[in-house]
Structure formats: C-alpha cells, structure tokens
Structure 1
Amino acid sequence: MAIEIKAPAFPESIADGTVATWHKQVGEAVKRDELIVDIETDKVVMEVLAEADGVITEIVAAEGATVLSGELLGKLDTQATASAAPAAQAEPQAAAPAASVEPILSPAARKIAEENALNPASIQGTGKDGRVTKEDAVAAAAGKPAAAARPAAVAAEAPLFAAGDRTEKRVPMTRLRAKVAERLVEAQSTMAMLTTYNEVNMKPIMDLRAKYKDLFEKTHNGTRLGFMSFFVKAATEALKRQPGVNASIDGKDIVYHGYQDIGVAVSSDRGLVVPVLRNAEFMSLAEIEATIREYGLKARDGKLTIEEMTGGTFTISNGGVFGSLLSSPIVNPPQTAILGMHKIQERPMAVNGEVVILPMMYLALSYDHRLIDGKEAVTFLVTMKDLLEDPARLLLDI
C-alpha cells in the first residue's frame, strides 16, 4: 500500500517552505514516527515523520524545492521491504569493476558535486551501501577525506576555504536568515529608533551567585544559576513601572499589555530566533534558567515551534556571551523596546571618593521614540540598574 508523504500544514503566517534535508532516500526502510524530511520555513524547521513502517519508493520534492502546505513530497510503500529496493542501491557493487560503477549520490551531495565540479566517482561514500552523503561531498569539496558517519554539525564547523584560497563560494541564504534580515530592515525604516545607555555594577549579583550557585543547582535538579534570570526578573519589574516600554503599536492604536512575555534572543546556525518566556513575571529564577536552557538546545537542533516564538512584549539580547562590550540592539517589531546586555568588564570606578576595580556591564535600551519618551526609557534603565545592583529589592518588591 502506497502512502503519500506530504508537507505539514503551515500556520497562517507562513506561506510556504523549503525542503531542507531528506533523512531517508529511495529504497531505504523507515519505521513509524521516524524522521523522514525537514521542511524549513521563515520561522522554524518542521519535521515530517513516517505514518507507518515501509520503504521510500519515490521522492517528488528534492532538497531545495519550495513546497506549499500539504504538497506531495514523496511516497512510502508499507508493503515493501528494504530488500525490494532498486538493485543499484540494494545489491553489492563488488561484482562490477570499480571504475565502471556509478556511485549513488543523495540529491544534496549531487548538487554540491556539480557546484564544485567534482567527479562523483572520486568521492568516497560513507552512507548505507556506499551512498555518498552531503557530508561526504562537503569533505571532498574541501579536499579532505570523509569521516565515517560524520554528523552534519561537524561538517558545518569546517572552514569554508583552505589558507590562501582565493576562490569564492555562493550559497543560498536560509529562509530564516532572510526573514530576519527583512524584519531588521523593516524595523529601522519604520521606527523612530533611539538608544539610551547605562552601566551596572555586577558585583552584588556575582557575589550572590557565587555563594548560592551550588545549593541552587542541587535544590533545583541540576538547573544552574546564571545572570539572565536576574535580568529577566528585573525587566519584568521595570516593565510594570513603565508600561509604555511593554506596549506595542497597532496602526494608530497603542496596545498596553497587562503581562510580561519576555523574548530571549538566541543565535543559531540558521539565524537569530527569539523564543518567548510566557508570563515571565510569575516565573522563578530556576524556571527562567531551565526554560532558557531548553530553548537554547531546541534552537541548536532546529526544534523550536511556532508557538514558542510567537508574541512577546519585550526582548532581551545578550551580546556579551560573544564578547561585545557595547552595541545598539534593533527593536523586534511589533514590540517597541529591546534591552541589550554586554560583556562584564573590570574597570576602575569611583566609589565614595576612592578608585575601586569593579565588574561593570554596559546596558543599552533601544526604543521606538514614537511611543516611548526619553524620560520613560531612561527611567526604565535606571530601574533595571537599581534592581540589579541591589538584588534584595527583587525579593522585597521595593
């Protein structure tokens, strides 16, 4: 019995998707609920799973093809077995002279071979039955031997060019990165964006974290105490005091939100994504840390869902993890403000008439001046500074 493999139903906000990776090829057996193909959209990567046990008999939409919701991707035969696959794929190739055997290339591998003018026969295949995988083709293009069963993530970390290489390589921008670029340009062209800065002494939080991090991790089942949870909690309190920073613009209306859904910007190989902490004002430090870690792992593996990235009333971006000392973040519309965290840097500071070396961090608040006045923006950032430099105020609600 033949079953049609179709693209998943896309949400209304997504028009189409791109076939990113076929994890199974024609002639390969699959198990029920096993991953067959990834569909990349403007926001997330959606997985298509096998509806039943069977064998892939046909691939209609190759990697790189654009598909609509419910469009046919391929076919699965539930009555066939892997041994019924085409002879060129199932039978050993040792019976024929090695020079006369045409290696089996996956669609992605064939595309890479064509782009780099590689002879398919010269590529060593490490896949099933000697199949040449995408990673094998990438390794061959780089002039390196392929490693058996090498994960795609390792291949992606390899340098694009050898030292002294003056060649160029053109690759299509991922749909997610293209969408992010579009939204960033839109934000800068439609908003009256302005950035205000301040600095915060991180010593109180660092001392608190050093004192309780082991007990915190033990009490909360391995959840580590980081800095981001303090910033999220301080932001929710500051947003309560300055509701305009938590608002958004809808046409000629101002929408004030009675809740704090905090987006946390996460960098991934496919582009910048912003999963959202729902009702962050009610979350504990442990819940915030655990959820952010979960989002980070999902972003790395491309597992974030539309629901996890939809909405958000305010965003926090931490460029400090990459060493940024100071920057001006771009607002994520329809939000009207974003907080930028930066690297903790020891600097000489004047304290009570004396010079003291303190771990300092610059904070940046970019905001839409159409809605938020300078007084509100500065007051918000000062509130953040006060709460972070005296963390007890977060607990005492003062």
Structure 2
Amino acid sequence: MSTEIKAPTFPESVADGSIATWHKQVGEAVSRDEPLVDIETDKVVLEVVAPGDGVLKEILKQEGDTVLSDEVVATFDEGGTASAAPASAEKSEAAETESANEPASGEIKASPAARKMIDEQGLDASQIPATGKGGLITKEDVANYKPAAAAAPAAKAAPAPAAPQVDVPAGERVEKRVPMTRLRARIAERLLDASQNTAMLTTFNEVNMKPVMELRKQYKDLFEKTHNGTRLGFMGLFVKAACEALKRFPSVNASIDDGDVVYHGYQDVGVAVSTEKGLVVPVLRDADGMSLAQIEDKVRDFGLRARDGKLGIDEMMGGTFTITNGGVFGSLISTPILNPPQTAILGMHKIQDRPMAVNGQVEILPMMYLALSYDHRLLDGKDAVQFLVVIKDLLEDPARILLEV
C-alpha cells in the first residue's frame, strides 16, 4: 500500500522548512518509526519517521529543497520489501570481499566500503557488530557504530587516520564556504532585529552564591532520592527567584505589541540551551506553579532533547522572560541580547571565588555576576535595577523564595 510522506504541520510563525538530510534512499527497507528525513525550520530540526514497515518508494524533495507545511516529500510502500537491485549489489559486494580477501578462519570479514571507512576512522573492526550475511561487516554497521570511551587510546596510538585529508601546499591560505543553516540564519536575523529595533541597556550586579551552594550541598542527596533521581542544581532556584521578582515587577514580564503594552498574568520562562546547530530557547510554561524538582527535571529534559534534535516547535513558542547561563562555558560577565518581543533577559555567569568585604573583614566568597538586559522603551533603569536586586536578595537568602518575602 502506497502512503504519502508529508512534512509536519508548521505553526503560523514558521513559513516553511528545508530538507536537511535523507536517512534512507529509494528502494531501501525501513522499519516502523525509523527516521526517514530531517526537515530544518527557522526554530528546530524536525524528524519525519516511517509510518510502518516497508520500503521508501520515491523521494519528491531533495536535500536543500524548500517544503511547506504538510507538503508531500516522498512516497512510501507500506508492507513492501527492498528492491532486488540493492540486495544483489550487497551480495555482489560481499562476494567480491570474500573472493578478494579469502579470509582465514577467525579473520574479520568486511565489505570494501566498510573496510575503507574502518581504515579512515581508525576503528577496531573486531568491536563492530556485523549484520551482514556470514558475519560480514557492512558500511551501515560502521556508520552506526559508536566507539566506547575505552577505544580512545587505541585511536590515539594510530595517528595516521587523523592526518589532514587535503594536501595543502606550504603557505597556502585555505578557505571553505558553506551555506548558513536556516536555524543559524534565523538566530542572526532575530539578534540583529533585537539590536536595531529595541532600546537595549544592560545593568549588572553580583550575588554571593555561598548560601545556595551550602543549601545544595546539604540537601542534594536527599533531594535526588526523594524526587526519583532528579538532581538539585542552580537553575531551578534562579527560575523560582525570577518568577517571584516578575510578580513584583509586572513590566519586566510584559511585551510591546505595536503601540500597546501587553502585561502577562503568568510567568513562562524560557531557558536558553546551546546545541551544535545553534541556540534554542524552550519554555517552562507556568513556571511559577512548578516545584523546584519539576523545574530541574524539565530543564534537564530540554537539554537532552535539544542535543538530540527532539524538541518540538511548540515548546519554543511564546515565553515572557528568558534566562541564559553563559557560566557553563566559563563566561565571567556578558551582555545578553533580548529575545523579542520580551523586554528583559537575565544572564548567569561562572561562579568564581573573590575577596569580599563582610562586616569589615575580608572573606573569600563564591561570587557570580548577574546581567539584566532590558528594553528601555518599556522599562526605566530604576525598575530594572530593583528587579535585579530582588533576585540577588532571594538567592543570598533562599528561604525567602519559599516564604515569598
């Protein structure tokens, strides 16, 4: 039975997408829920999977082509079997390997294409699971193989494969031009829009993280045990502190829509997550009503799914305030850029021991710089500074977050 493979339904804010990668080729057998194609949009990479067991019959949209919402990109023969051509080719490839190599008893067998990939990547063929006939390692086996960490010394001991693949003459200045991905282009567009169309300023403060760190040290084991393995981090406390501060300063939680100011009676906090393809901002809906454990669990889930490209477009829509943490990469201080139409964004940074004056005495304390970038069209400096001071006070006395004082 022939089935149409369609692009996902895009929300109104996403006009179209483009074909990023086809994981299967025409005539290739596919299992149910196995990835067929990746479609890249302005916000996220979407994965289209097979509706059942069968064969990819025809590809209508090639890599790089633009696709619209619900547009047909391929046809799929559900219940069909792989075409004879690929099968015979694989059999011929296996036969060629056996006749060419005539491996001795116990020697590892691999197709020519697979052996070439093994040599180029410096892999240990004995560690690669073989799925081919008679224990033959196919090129798909090599492509799907992920070497364990223990294999690193072996790869290091054979530096030859790591040599540059391009022979560059001495003194040659090499350049490589690649098209910008849709996601990266959209990020650039939004950042440029924010810098050109908002009156953005940044105010700074610093917070003594010792109380939060002591709280975490005292309760992290009990917290993890009580909440089924959810770890107690810093982001949950920052989100809770931000929600309390947003309730006290509604204008920080507002947005500008043409000539109107929209005040939101809820706190949807976006948490910036870095991926290989770019920065994405999934949103914690109604963050004020979430427990600390729920926030920590959701943030961790966001990070894992962002890394694997599994976030949905709807999870990154909206948001009334954003938190970004450059400290995980070692940033000491920065000026985060607004995420329009939001009017403020909080920047966290690395925790660093510094000498501080406390009651006339010098103490070494773990300090973090905080940065709040805000749109001066809506927020006055007084409100922005006081908002940041509230977050500082709540974090330096975490009991106030629970007591809401």
1:22 lines up with 2:35 in the alignment:
no
Where 1:335 maps in the other structure, the secondary structure is: coil
What's the counterpart of residue 212 of structure 1? 219
User: What letter is aligned with 2:322?
Assistant: T
After superposition, the Cα gap between the structure-2 partners of 1:80 and 1:47, relative to the gap in structure 1 and judged at 3 Å, is same
Distance 1:153 1:191 in 2: 46
Question: What does 1:1-398 correspond to in 2, within 5 Å?
Answer: 1-82=1-82, 84-86=84-86, 89-93=89-93, 125-126=113-114, 144=121, 149-150=142-143, 166-398=173-405
Q: What is the deviation of 1:171?
A: 2.0
How many residues align? The count is 362
What's the counterpart of residue 107 of structure 1? none
Where 1:82 maps in the other structure, the secondary structure is: coil
Which TM-score applies when normalising by structure 1? 0.84
Residues 27 and 89 in structure 1, CA contact (< 8 A), matched pair in contact too: no
User: What letter is aligned with 1:297?
Assistant: L
Distance 1:168 1:186 in 2: 29
After superposition, the Cα gap between the structure-2 partners of 1:74 and 1:88, relative to the gap in structure 1 and judged at 3 Å, is farther
Residues 35 and 49 in structure 2, CA contact (< 8 A), matched pair in contact too: yes
What's the counterpart of residue 106 of structure 2? none
Q: What is the deviation of 1:67?
A: 1.6
Q: What is the deviation of 1:13?
A: 1.6
After superposition, the Cα gap between the structure-2 partners of 1:23 and 1:208, relative to the gap in structure 1 and judged at 3 Å, is same
Q: Which is further off, 323-332 or 78-87?
A: 78-87
Residues 339 and 364 in structure 1, CA contact (< 8 A), matched pair in contact too: yes
Which TM-score applies when normalising by structure 2? 0.82
Where 1:149 maps in the other structure, the secondary structure is: helix
Residues 195 and 366 in structure 1, CA contact (< 8 A), matched pair in contact too: yes
Q: Which is further off, 264-273 or 145-154?
A: 145-154
Distance 1:2 1:232 in 2: 49
Q: What is the deviation of 1:251?
A: 0.3
Where 2:52 maps in the other structure, the secondary structure is: coil
Query: What CA deviation, in whole Å up to 9, does each residue of 1:68-127 have, x standing for no partner?
Result: 2233322222353125345664542356799xxxxxxxxxxxxxxxxxxxxxxxx9634x
Residues 97 and 112 in structure 2, CA contact (< 8 A), matched pair in contact too: no
Q: What is the deviation of 1:270?
A: 1.1
User: What letter is aligned with 1:181?
Assistant: A
Q: What is the deviation of 1:172?
A: 1.9
Query: What CA deviation, in whole Å up to 9, does each residue of 1:149-208 have, x standing for no partner?
Result: 345999xxx999689964322222221111011000000000000000000000000001
Q: Structure 1 unaligned segments of length 5 or more: list them.
A: 99-122
After superposition, the Cα gap between the structure-2 partners of 1:95 and 1:161, relative to the gap in structure 1 and judged at 3 Å, is closer
Query: What CA deviation, in whole Å up to 9, does each residue of 1:187-242 have, x standing for no partner?
Result: 00000000000000000000010000000000000000000111000000111111
Distance 2:278 2:253 in 1: 25
What's the counterpart of residue 106 of structure 1? none
Residues 271 and 283 in structure 2, CA contact (< 8 A), matched pair in contact too: yes
Where 1:125 maps in the other structure, the secondary structure is: helix
Residues 270 and 282 in structure 2, CA contact (< 8 A), matched pair in contact too: yes
Identical-pair percentage? 67
Q: What is the deviation of 1:51?
A: 2.3
Distance 2:78 2:166 in 1: 50
